[in-house]
Amino acid sequence: MLSRVADAVYWASRYVERAENVARFVNVNLDLMLEAPISQRPSWEPLVLTTGDQEWFAEHYKQPTPETVAHFLSFDRRYPNSVVSCVSFARENARTVREVISREMWQQLNELYLMVKEASKSPGPIEEMADYFERVKLAGIHYAGVTDATLSHGEAWHFCRLGRLLERADKTSRILDVKYFVLQPSQQQGGPTIDQVGWTALLNSASALQMYRQTEHIITPRRVARFLLLSDEFPRSIRHCVKRAQRSLHALTGTPVGNYKTEAERLLGKLVADLDYADIDQVVDYGLHEYLDELQTTLNAVSSSVHKQFFEHAEK
């Protein structure tokens, strides 16, 4: 496969996943804002922290209000990781390889693009945007499903899956990192009572609440962290994502899992092994933030290595 083609299908999938995750974060905060009493409404600043682009936000906006954060994450074309920017980038990448992806993939992505483009013209009050974020989230899920159902599971499919899963692992780690930090003090100040609404919102951010309740009877910070970090069965957990990403990477290189010839394979293999044998009590005692920060650094290094190995000579 040409580097240019591999680059385009990888990033089309990754950008759609990024847009979907941003929509998830904003929609959960919006639901809490509309349902909770004024005194208990959530802060919107953690959403900015989740992106890792708080300096960019501070440079262009004054305060992290619901309106400014929602616009920043959804409709600001100057910000490359907003929903409208990600969907536009995804569509442009897909447009260049229409002969490689399936017709259904292009149709799904084009419909998402037209919907987001139309919504960005007149966003309306934030209280009325819940339906928009839900549609973006579902469009991302549909795109992943259409990809799996209509694209031959060869090189192009593995590049799509690799990009999607690396992005998903990164975003799950970021929302867990920020929300755990924000919610944990309330537990320390309130004794044994934890912020059930906040932890439920964290699980909802990853569409994980129902699956969590099937395996856990109560919500505790460590159990939530273990589920989102170490579950091997839940498809949005970090461990699940990196293990499946590893399989796609090895399918592309032809190297058997358990061996490595490239830096990306070495880094991802080491991360998978660490997660396979991780214990949540040891992780929390070590420092969940420090652990997730190292994990994000590794994921960034894997992404850079994938780019160098497969895309560096792609035509721009």
Domain ranges across the chain: 1-151, 153-316
| Contact (CB, 8 A) for 227 and 249 | no
130-80-271 Cα angle (round to 5): 90
- The pLDDT of residue 316 is 44
Q: Say yes or no to pLDDT of 39 above 90.
A: no
Q: How long a stretch of residues is the chain?
A: 316
Q: With pLDDT > 90 as the criterion, what percentage of the chain qualifies?
A: 75
User: What is the token pair recorded at 246?
Assistant: 């590893």
Q: With pLDDT > 70 as the criterion, what percentage of the chain qualifies?
A: 93
* Residue labelled with tokens 């699980």: 203
Q: Say yes or no to pLDDT of 146 above 90.
A: yes
Residue 313 to residue 310: CA distance in whole angstroms: 8
Q: Say yes or no to pLDDT of 58 above 90.
A: yes
Q: Say yes or no to pLDDT of 193 above 60.
A: no
Residue-wise DSSP of 144-202: HHHHHHHS-TTHHHHHHHHHHHHHHHHHHHHHHHHHHHHHHHHHHHSTT---HHHHHHH
| Contact (CB, 8 A) for 231 and 212 | no
Q: What is the pLDDT of residues 254-263, one digit of tens each?
A: 999 999 999 9
- Model confidence at 191, in pLDDT bands (50, 70, 90)? very low
Q: What is the pLDDT of residues 67-124, one digit of tens each?
A: 999 999 999 999 999 999 999 999 999 999 999 999 999 999 999 999 999 999 988 8
Average pLDDT value for the chain: 91
| Contact (CB, 8 A) for 198 and 179 | yes
